Chains A and B, each alone.
Chain A
Amino acid sequence: MELMNALVALLNYVVVPGLAYGAQLALGALGVTLIYGILRFSNFAHGDTMAFGTMATILATWGLQAAGVTFGVLPTALLALPVGILGTALFVLGTDRAVYRFYRTQKAAPVILVIVSMGVMFVMNGVVRFIIGVDDIGFADGARYLVNARDFRDWSGLDEGLVIRVPQVITLATAAVAVALLFWFLNRTRTGKSMRAFSDNEDLALLSGINPEKVVAVTWIIVAALATTAGVLYGLDKSFKAFTYFQLLLPIFAAAIVGGLGSPLGAIAGGFLIAFSEVTLTYPWKKVLGYLAPEGWEPEGLVQLLSTDYKFAVSFAILVLVLLFRPTGLFRGQSV
């Protein structure tokens, strides 16, 4: 029984939150890795693209709610998601036309594009805060729990109650669908294959008659969709706050680099690796160990390796280790 309790506690505080957070990071990292593979720079504005997409979705959600439209047990934001994606796609395409294209035609060095993307980041940052404000905004509605603690305790007879919140399940399901669609697109369609070809060998892609402007536009649209989805899922799971999304940039980049920049599969693996590292290192293991340890051996302290305030240190440490020992990442992407 103690073992089962420990297992449920582990599921509650480590496995389920880690999976949800990992899926959110993976979607974010996929966007970063696509930009890196095809436009060949690290997009620092990605966190704020997520914030912009989430903001657009929240506005659409409020509009739907005001009109009396809801999605039953599911959050209304899922209905508003396509609107948010469309708005974000138009915004990033506009940014590309107004800013990035100028540097692309000049064949600017990647490091210049990185700095340019930081400028874009500040502007997007300001736009989002100007429109929706800097406060925490919760926009999840519909059912809160798929499995709640009391029902689970009554059903199983365990001391520890399993809690699975609806947004966590939605996150995993949506992320799975998004990733499946992305891989189908990249591996099966003509446009997707031309994107991979462009990422693989730009000169040869041009010799084969692949239109670079079209590849770039399609990439931005996909990135907008991924970023908005990731942002909305994160916001549903926790809450929306512009500054938090800006901070997400670090774990997302860590995930993309750990997996290997330019490798979509790597981005997904990296997302889960970073998420689980963060969660396991900042989780107080007292409860789980308390169930497992023999009588009288229960730990007195929290057995928390790092305070949650230091969770970004985890991403940073992993980033440094990977760049030192395996700069191409787990899935042999491009080195930075």
Chain B
Amino acid sequence: MSDSAYGARGNEDRSITRSNEPLTPPYPSGDPRAAGGTPFLIGEAMTGGYGRGADILNGCTVAVDKGKIAVIVGPNGAGKSTAMKAIFGMLSLREGRVVIDGEDITALSPQDRVAKGMAFVPQTQNIFTSMSVEENLEMGAFLRRDDISGTMAQVYDLFPILKEKRRQAAGELSGGQRQQVAVGRALMTQPKVLMLDEPTAGVSPIVMDELFDRIIEVARTGVTILMVEQNARQALEIADIGYVLVQGGNAHTGTGDELLADPVVRRTFLGG
């Protein structure tokens, strides 16, 4: 798929963003954390399941560098969403650990992980339907005590349609607009890591491309992105690193292009 809209340039392609003006990066460029090194976020050898049920994850590892996009793909029931929920602390791991920015956060609750700079956009019910778009964004920034108007302006910059509909109840918006609200809400905490569970589920192909563009734009500001996707081909095109999970374990790992070029992955997951 090197002739796709994104070409082989992945996240490094600057031409696809709307603006060359970078949004405020979370770290000043001199900050050592802004440099490369070990992966920024790692879920290492994770094993676990829901409650006392059977293990869904079997030693699965997901890692992503700062400001990069990692995509988890795989067949239904492979544990894609579960892996993401494990990284966010929504289920307890029997083995393995989660490290963000060198800090082990395996024991923290999801709420505490939000305070550590993680933001999660669930697949469904990811907005407050009865509240206005602006109130949704305000609630996203609930933990912040400082002035949020700057961040809100950035979100409105990223998703101009939301500014237009800011007084409207979020539940009245279209599917794609709702997803924008959901992502916007998550960005309001100024997260270092943004986790998206199937952000393009149920939206049209055009809106999907648009959403992926925006996600790249967010990554460009230094936010690390981890997402689970059903639309494997399109998602891998923008991925810096891709993980193919099968039965709760890592089946294939590589850059988006490597996986797209891998004949086994193509045959089994991408439909030839």
Contacts and interface: CB of A to CB of B under 8 A. Distances in A.
B111 A209 contact: yes
Contacts, number: 56
A206 interface: yes
A203 B125 contact: yes
A210 B185 CA distance: 14
Contacts of A207: 110-111, 114, 120, 122
B238 interface: no
Interface string B96-114: 0000000000000011001
B131 A200 contact: yes
A204 B110 contact: no
Contact of B126 (A199, A204, A206, A210): A204
Interface stretch (A14-22, A189-197, A239-247): A189-197
A105 interface: no
Contacts of B135: 193, 196-197
A208 interface: yes
Interface string A176-213: 00000000000000100110110111011111111000
A197 B135 CA distance: 9
Given A193-B139, A197-B139, A209 B115 contact: yes
Contact of B128 (A190, A197, A206, A209): A197
B87 to A, nearest CB: 14
A205 B138 CA distance: 11
Given A206-B111, A209-B111, A200 B128 contact: yes
Contacts of A205: 128, 139
B139 A194 contact: yes
Contacts of A210: 139, 142
Contacts of B122: 203-204, 207
Contacts of B115: 209
B143 interface: yes
A194 B142 contact: yes
B129 interface: yes
A196 B127 CA distance: 12
Nearest to A205: B139
B76 interface: no
Contact of B129 (A190, A194, A201): A201
Contacts of B189: 209
Nearest to B110: A207
A210 B128 CA distance: 13
B138 A193 contact: yes
B130 interface: yes
Contacts of A200: 128-131
Contact of A204 (B125, B138, B143): B125
Given A206-B111, A209-B114, A201 B142 contact: no
A207 B122 CA distance: 10
Nearest to A332: B130
A184 to B, nearest CB: 15
Contacts of A199: 130
Contact of A193 (B129, B131, B185): B131
A196 B110 contact: no
Nearest to B126: A204
A193 B134 CA distance: 11
A332 to B, nearest CB: 10
B143 A197 contact: no
B128 A201 contact: yes
Of the candidates A196, A203, A204, A208, the one having the most CB atoms from chain B within 10 angstroms of its own CB is A208
Contacts of A208: 114, 139-140, 142-143, 185
A262 to B, nearest CB: 9
A210 B110 CA distance: 12
Top 10 closest A-B pairs, CB basis?
Answer: A209-B143, A200-B128, A197-B139, A208-B142, A200-B130, A209-B142, A208-B139, A197-B128, A201-B128, A209-B114
Given A204-B127, A208-B142, 5 more contacts: A197-B142, A201-B128, A204-B128, A207-B122, A209-B114
14 contacts: A193-B135, A193-B139, A194-B139, A196-B130, A196-B135, A197-B142, A200-B129, A200-B130, A204-B128, A207-B122, A208-B139, A208-B185, A209-B115, A210-B142
Interface of A: 190, 193-194, 196-197, 199-201, 203-210
